[in-house]
Amino acid sequence: MSLTLYTAATPNGYKVSVALEELGLAYAVERVDLGKGEQKLPDFLAINPNGRVPVLVDDGFPIFESGAILVWLAEKTGQLMPTDAKGRSRVLQWLMFQMSGIGPMMGQANVFYRYFPEKIPAAIARYQGEGRRLFTVLDAQLANAEYLVGDYSIADIANWCWVRTAKWSGIDTEGLPHLQRWTAAIAARPAAQRGIHIPEASQAKPENAQEAKAFADRARPLIELGKREA
C-alpha cells in the first residue's frame, strides 16, 4: 500500500493524519501551501476538482473529501468502524453530523469571528450559537458512552479534530462535562498528538483566512447596500 497525503494545517487535514497515525500506516506527506493557492493549481485540481485539502492518493487512486477518506481507510483496514450494518451506520451518522454540522458551523464562526474585516455581531452570534447547540448534542450522546458509538472510531476523530479548536471559534464548552472529558481523552492518545502536527502549523496558512477575504470581497457591496437602506 503506497499512501500519499496532500494536506495542510486545518481541522479537515488533521482528521486524516490522525486516522493514519491511529492505524499505524506508513504514508508520505505533501504539504499544500494554501496561502500561495497551491490547492487551485492544475496538478492539484487533477486529484481534487474542488481544490481543497486533504487528498489521499492510495496506489495512484485519489480520494478527496476528508469524510470519504476516513471511510476508505476504515473499510480498507477493517479498523475504526464496526463491520456490522447497524454499527457501521451509527458511525456514519456521527461522521455525517460532523461533515454537515460541526465543520460548516465552526468554519463560518471562524470566518466572521476571526477573519472577516468587518465585525457583524449577528453573524458571529448565529454561527457560534449553532456551534454551541451542536456541542450540546455531542455532550448528550457522550453522557452514555465513552466514545460517540461505543468503541473509538472515525466518527470520534472527525468530530474531535474540530471540537478541539472551539476556543479559536469563540465557542464555549463550559457546562458540557461529557464533551470535555471526551475531548481530553482523545487529546491524550499518542496518535492524536502526532496527527495534529502533520504538517507543522507554521508551514501552512489557515484555509479560512483566504476564503474569508474572497467572501468579504463578494459581500462588501451587499453590506454597503444594507447600510444605505437602514
Q: What is the pLDDT of residues 59-98, one digit of tens each?
A: 999 999 999 999 999 999 999 999 999 999 999 999 999 9
**The pLDDT of residue 200:** 77
Q: What is the pLDDT of residues 156-175, one digit of tens each?
A: 999 999 999 999 999 999 99
Question: How far is it, in rounded angstroms, from Cα 7 to Cα 54?
Answer: 5
Is 207 in contact with 15 (CB distance < 8 Å)? no
Is 102 in contact with 155 (CB distance < 8 Å)? no
Q: Which domains does the chain have, with CATH numbers?
A: 3-79+194-215 (3.40.30.10), 85-177 (1.20.1050.10)
Is 95 in contact with 75 (CB distance < 8 Å)? no
**The pLDDT of residue 208:** 56
Query: Residue ranges of the alpha helices (H) in the chain?
Result: 11-23, 42-45, 66-77, 85-97, 103-110, 121-142, 154-163, 166-169, 177-187, 190-195, 207-229
Task: Give every residue of the chain whose pLDDT is below 50, as ranges.
Answer: 202-206, 222-223, 225-227, 229-230
Burial class of residue 213 (count of CB atoms within 10 Å of its CB; 0-12, 13-18, 19+): middle
> pTM here?
0.89
**The pLDDT of residue 221:** 53
Question: How far is it, in rounded angstroms, from Cα 22 to Cα 36?
Answer: 30
Rg of the Cα atoms in the chain: 18
Pairing of strands 28-31, 61-64: unpaired
